Chains A and B, each alone.
Chain A
Amino acid sequence: MISTPAIEHIIEITYLIATALFILSLKWLSSPATARRGVFAGEIGMLLAVVGTLLHHGIVEYKWILIALVLGTIIGVPLGEVAMTAVPQRTALSHAFGALCVTLVGTAEFYLRAPDVPPFMMGVLSMEVILGSLTFTGSLMAAGKLQEVLPQRPITYKGQNFVNLGLLGVAIIVAGVLVAHPEKTQLFPLIVGIPLVFGVMMIIPIGGADMPTVISLLNSYAGLSAAAMGFVLESKLLIIAGALDGASGFILSVNMSKAMNRSFSNVLFGAFGQEQTAAAGAKEARAVRSATPDEAAGILAAANKVVIVPGYGMAVAQAQHKVRELYDALTKRGIDVKFGIHPVAGRMPGHMNVLLAEADIPYDKLLEMDEINGDFPQTDVALVIGANDVTNPAARTDHSSPIFGMPILDVDKARTVMVIKRSMAAGFAGIDNPLYYLDKTLMLFGDAKNFVGGIVRELGGGHE
């Protein structure tokens, strides 16, 4: 039998190795070539840490731990096997699970320790449960909206921001009282309950196009709450993992906000959809030119350089595999095909890349906005599939446009623009897109999957 202190040292060493592996894991994710090694490093680190923890001498009963580990695995496997189009809601759901874990542990820790909780400990414990519970319900709401169980459109009412900030304020004040008087245990349910309500209220006014920012923000909160839990449990491993996750979510949130030219507070308190209804109205029907799959195929076949700009519409129509066939048909004819990906295209950061990679499109053809924008003037055809606001030239020129200043893909600089769209209805933001009325623009009305399939048939490709 190994002595208890020796085991405790072994456990600490497994945590140290796990920490190093976690950092390497993220480092290797920097490039697709080493990324899978990164996942492996993370898995080994996790396994070491969990096994190390199970050796902990203080653990007297294993039955429930093992049942929970098995149950978690049974739930986790299907969550790891969802369709790629369901990744945004899966991600939101996993933020909710992470936050649930942190909130429950924090709650139990409070009742085990009270009334003997030093002020600093009570402070981080409050932060842990406040962030944890608002992330839990907020993420469930986000997942519900993404899965379309809940209405996607923003729901707003008068005084909404006042109510929301008021709720959060009350929770923070109660936390402050607890810091001073940890023996008032009857107050503790408030710092769990109020943020649970706040989480719901926070997501109600958020629309679909703001999801990339909101998911990133919730990711950051989940990380910070885990780091706070690390402070409470005095676990370096947990502090570090939480800080890494928090940093990642923060960087992504900043990227997303920049890509929409909006501030965090504007995303959270702006209720984007609402401001635009005023801007949208009163637009008389203007003439657009439309084309059939046959004509579109002819124009594409005559091009040398094509840039495809995918958006959420492609994901909704599940058109990525047809797009791959189009890519094949055009490439076979010696046409240079690239993809221009806007950072906020889709419902979470990197959403389009994953869908196109799933359809077997090589990742070196997927270019970021900054990389592709210089190419548009030399591009013969820009083909927009289910994207709208991210191609709206009004963002560059029209100071009165609600999206003015948002960086866009300069598709209007290509020689010909083709836009696949179901109808002339305005996009998410309800803003008219002047791109559609340009002389060089052809509107291809129809379902993205069917229309691209039609073009592929005309080009004589496809697998049918």
Chain B
Amino acid sequence: MKLDLLTSLYVFMLAAFIGFEVIRRVSPLLHTPLMSLTNALDAIAVVGAIILAGEFHPHGALLAKILGTIAIVAATSNIVGGFLITDRMLRMFKASGPKKP
């Protein structure tokens, strides 16, 4: 689905505003998990790498395959590692006693 430049800029601007509003509310307590989670989400770049590595290219096919494959490895390790460690960290955060949920 093709986007024109202006639509892309609109999408970027709106996402940046949402990002600021949502992330401002994250407690400083969780800033380390925040960073590892956004890192995992950012690795959605893997979709670009998958298309690059898998699509048919009339020329430059070898370059696309090699770079695309390495890019998938890098992004996938961020996805797997990022979600794993974020969840591990969050599991450790416990409130004291039942009085404060």
With beta carbons under 8 angstroms apart, the residue of A49, A65, A120 that contacts B72 is A65
| B30 surroundings in chain A (CB, below 8 A) | 29, 32, 35, 350, 353
Residues 47-58 of B, flagged 1 when their CB comes within 8 A of A and 0 if not, give: 111111111110
Asked if A91 is an interface residue, CB under 8 A from chain B, the answer is: yes
| B41 surroundings in chain A (CB, below 8 A) | 22, 25-26, 42, 45-46, 241, 244-245
A-B contact count (CB 8 A): 373
Chain A residues proximal to chain B, CB less than 8 Å: 8, 12, 18, 22-23, 25-27, 29-33, 35-36, 38-39, 42-43, 45-46, 49-50, 53-54, 56, 58-62, 64-65, 67-69, 71-73, 75-82, 84, 87, 90-91, 94-95, 97-98, 100-102, 104-105, 107-109, 111-112, 120, 215-216, 219, 222-223, 226-227, 229-231, 233-249, 251-252, 255, 341, 343, 348-351, 353-354, 357-358, 360, 362-366, 368
How many B residues have CB within 8 A of the partner chain? 86
Q: How far is the CB of B60 from chain A (nearest CB, A)?
A: 5
Q: Check A8–B1 contact: CB distance below 8 A.
A: yes
- Asked, given contacts A32-B95, A354-B32, whether A60 binds B39 with beta carbons under 8 Å apart, the answer is no
Interface members, chain B 15-67 (any A CB < 8 Å): 15-16, 18-20, 22-57, 59-60, 63-65, 67
Of all chain A residues, the one with the shortest Cβ separation from B19 is A247
| B79 surroundings in chain A (CB, below 8 A) | 46, 72, 76
With beta carbons under 8 angstroms apart, the residue of B12, B54, B72, B87 that contacts A243 is B12
Q: Check A60–B48 contact: CB distance below 8 A.
A: no
Q: Check A252–B31 contact: CB distance below 8 A.
A: yes
Dominant SS among interface residues on chain A: helix
Q: Check A76–B25 contact: CB distance below 8 A.
A: no
- Asked, given contacts A54-B50, A60-B55, A362-B95, whether A29 binds B37 with beta carbons under 8 Å apart, the answer is yes
Q: List 6 A-B contacts (CB under 8 A).
A: A54-B50, A73-B80, A80-B80, A108-B68, A252-B34, A353-B93
